[in-house]
Amino acid sequence: MSTALILPALATAVASPASAVSDAWSFHLDHVLGASFDMAVTAPTEAEARFAFAAATSEIARLDRVLSGWRDDSELAALNRSGAMQVSPDLFAVISACETWRARTGGAFSARLGRLHETWAQASGRAPAAEALCAAAGQVARADVALEPGDRTIRRPDEVRFAPDGLAKGYIIDAALVAARRAAPCASGVMIDIGGDIACWGATSWRVGVADPAQLADNAPPLAVLRLANQALAVSGPGPRDRRIGEAAYSHLLDPRTGQPAPRVQAAVIAPTATEADALATALAVLPAGQGLTLAEGRPGVEALIVAGRQHKATSGWQAACQAASPLPAGFVVEVSYEVPKIDAPVYRKPYVLVWVTDADKNLVKTLAIQGVKKEYQEENYVWWRRYGRKQAGVLDAIGKPTRAPGRYTVGWDGTDEAGKRAPQGRYLIHVEAAREHGGHTYQVIDVNLGAAPVTGSAPAKDELGAAQVRYAKSK
């Protein structure tokens, strides 16, 4: 598989409970199913997010023992050593799905290619002979594989060795997502990515990029940016798993009809499940573009992009999936009202106050107000400073103002980001933070969904800050 990109603003969907603000928690592991594993969870607490992470990784480990083609002790390996075997529900479901997709794609997808992959893996010096590959592919295609649902028995002839990688990873991701949601019922969004196969769930959408096959750098701009809502993405084609024989590079994907490596084509597929996206992406990387897009157009909820060199061909709805959210409507502004309370103290210093806006994943959109200009004291507002302030050279000089005496104050946001570009509609977090010399520290967050209608939000008084309000409406 090729690689999809998880963009910096991963989660744009946070459906927060009324009593708590959801944060986005990210997790990363290496060497999961032979690839990297990334997961993001929007949840009211870190503990809830970790419940989701633990359940997902446990399910992945369980299914790896069932479906791995790289482990001698997996159930799949046992099936490939046996002519007939009663198997678990998961292995039966995966092999059945592979056979179904083999029929749907006219043989362009097949999980029967284990022996052909072994032939290529053992090649040394030069590629295997085309005639022998074609003959072996024909034998595999004609082989009589029997699936008996009653007792979940699978019977395979000797020429068939199952290698369901082109669908099994998607199946595992789907199962991990279900396990995560079950373990963390208060979570409002989950994204799982294993080696570029991605499944997303949440209240609105997640922002994901499709890697450009013409760009080798890891930080190259994406070919397309998608917003996925309860959908999956798989990208298949040339990549780091390609084989090298002598000076030549060959795709790790094989055309089941010929046994030859697939053409150097990248296929990206959006589908309702990772299982379907995985299978279709594999098939579309093998089929001629026209046939592949016709297949995709006939599947509900599926969109696809096929990239062959400089030629890009897509299904009719692909461009709509790439469209960014509409910008905040012109004339709408946000007013943030906060209070500096009078606190009786032997030594009273006016607090340093910060007000800023982030997206739902806490990526900074704009710093609105800095009340207090001395850097050594401003750093006491450690939430803003650690995440954003120390990375913004000169921001204190640019918008820092003297500290304010007790009273009520209002700052405005015109809906633009730090670069002056109008921000998209969606969910935002308004942050207010205060720290006082010889006093305490207070941090408030107000979660608001900004769109085409006025909204309000509030945070209760606490320690160094009185109650805070947010009002979003057309300017007068």
**353 close to 434: Cβ distance less than 8 angstroms:** yes
**422 close to 324: Cβ distance less than 8 angstroms:** no
**292 close to 267: Cβ distance less than 8 angstroms:** yes
State pLDDT tens for residues 97-140: 999 999 999 999 999 999 999 998 888 888 989 999 999 999 99
- List the end-to-end C-alpha distance of the chain, in Å, as a whole number: 53
Residues 6+ apart with CB under 8 A from 5: 208, 209, 210, 211, 222
pLDDT cut 90: percent of the chain above it: 57
**pLDDT band for position 4 (cuts 50, 70, 90):** low
- Residue 159: Cβ within 10 Å count: 16
pLDDT score, position 320: 84
What is the distance between the alpha carbons of residues 397 and 378, in angstroms, rounded to a whole number? 12
Which whole number is the average pLDDT over 215-233? 79
- Residue 134: Cβ within 10 Å count: 14
Q: Is 316 exposed, middle or buried (0-12, 13-18, 19+ CB in 10 A)?
A: exposed
Element (H, E) at 248: strand 248-250
- Residue 321: Cβ within 10 Å count: 20
pLDDT score, position 414: 92
pLDDT score, position 65: 97
**pLDDT band for position 53 (cuts 50, 70, 90):** very high
When the pLDDT of each residue in the chain is averaged and rounded to a whole number, the result is: 87
Lowest model confidence (mean pLDDT) among 139-143, 145-149, 288-292, 421-425: 421-425
Lowest model confidence (mean pLDDT) among 152-161, 381-390, 454-463: 381-390
Planar angle of CA 50, 55, 58, nearest 5 degrees: 120
State in words which class domain 332-474 has.
mainly beta
Q: Which CATH number fits domain 4-71+164-322: 3.40.1190.20, 3.10.520.10, 3.20.20.70, 3.40.50.300?
A: 3.10.520.10
**32 close to 264: Cβ distance less than 8 angstroms:** no
* Helix boundaries (H) for 68-106: 75-81, 89-104
pLDDT score, position 18: 29
pLDDT cut 70: percent of the chain above it: 90
Instruction: For strands 206-210 and 153-155, give the pairing.
Output: unpaired
CA pseudo-torsion sign 394, 399, 401, 405 = negative
CA distances from 4 to 97, 171, 232, 254 (A): 24, 17, 11, 21
What is the distance between the alpha carbons of residues 320 and 324, in angstroms, rounded to a whole number? 9
pLDDT score, position 453: 87
The one-letter code for the residue type at 7 is L
**pLDDT exceeds cutoff 90 at 47:** yes
Tokens of 229: 């809502």
What is the distance between the alpha carbons of residues 173 and 193, in angstroms, rounded to a whole number? 8
pLDDT score, position 204: 62
Helix count and strand count (H, E) for the chain: 12, 25
**pLDDT exceeds cutoff 60 at 8:** no
Tell me if residue 476 falls in helix, strand or coil.
coil
Picking from 178, 204, 182, the residue whose alpha carbon sits closest to that of residue 192 is 178
Which whole number is the average pLDDT over 14-28? 55
pLDDT score, position 423: 87
**pLDDT band for position 17 (cuts 50, 70, 90):** very low
**pLDDT exceeds cutoff 70 at 22:** no
Question: What strand order describes the sheet that includes 206-210?
Answer: 4-11, 206-210, 224-228
DSSP secondary structure string for all residues of 258-302: TSSBPPS-EEEEEESSHHHHHHHHHHHTTS-HHHHHHHHHTSTT-
The larger pLDDT score, comparing residue 331 to residue 12, is at 331
Domains of the chain, residue spans: 4-71+164-322, 332-474
Which whole number is the average pLDDT over 312-328? 83
What is the distance between the alpha carbons of residues 330 and 414, in angstroms, rounded to a whole number? 9
pLDDT score, position 9: 33
What is the distance between the alpha carbons of residues 188 and 52, in angstroms, rounded to a whole number? 11
Tell me if residue 218 falls in helix, strand or coil.
coil
**pLDDT band for position 216 (cuts 50, 70, 90):** low
State pLDDT tens for residues 385-439: 787 776 665 565 567 678 888 999 999 999 998 888 888 888 899 999 998 887 8
Residue 437 per-residue DSSP state: T
**250 close to 242: Cβ distance less than 8 angstroms:** yes
- Residue 49: Cβ within 10 Å count: 26
Tokens of 461: 């008084």
Picking from 15, 413, 373, 348, the residue whose alpha carbon sits closest to that of residue 205 is 15
The backbone torsions φ and ψ at residue 293, rounded to the nearest 5 degrees and listed phi first, read -70, -35
pLDDT score, position 214: 79
**pLDDT exceeds cutoff 60 at 362:** yes
Tell me if residue 72 falls in helix, strand or coil.
coil
pLDDT score, position 281: 96
The backbone torsions φ and ψ at residue 376, rounded to the nearest 5 degrees and listed phi first, read -65, -25
Q: Tell if the pTM clears 0.85, that is, is over it.
A: no
pLDDT score, position 396: 55
Lowest model confidence (mean pLDDT) among 141-145, 167-171, 320-324, 342-346: 320-324
State pLDDT tens for residues 370-385: 888 776 666 777 787 7
**pLDDT exceeds cutoff 60 at 10:** no
Which whole number is the average pLDDT over 262-290? 95
Tokens of 362: 């806490």
**pLDDT band for position 88 (cuts 50, 70, 90):** very high
pLDDT score, position 395: 63
**pLDDT band for position 276 (cuts 50, 70, 90):** very high
pLDDT score, position 394: 58
Which whole number is the average pLDDT over 40-63? 95
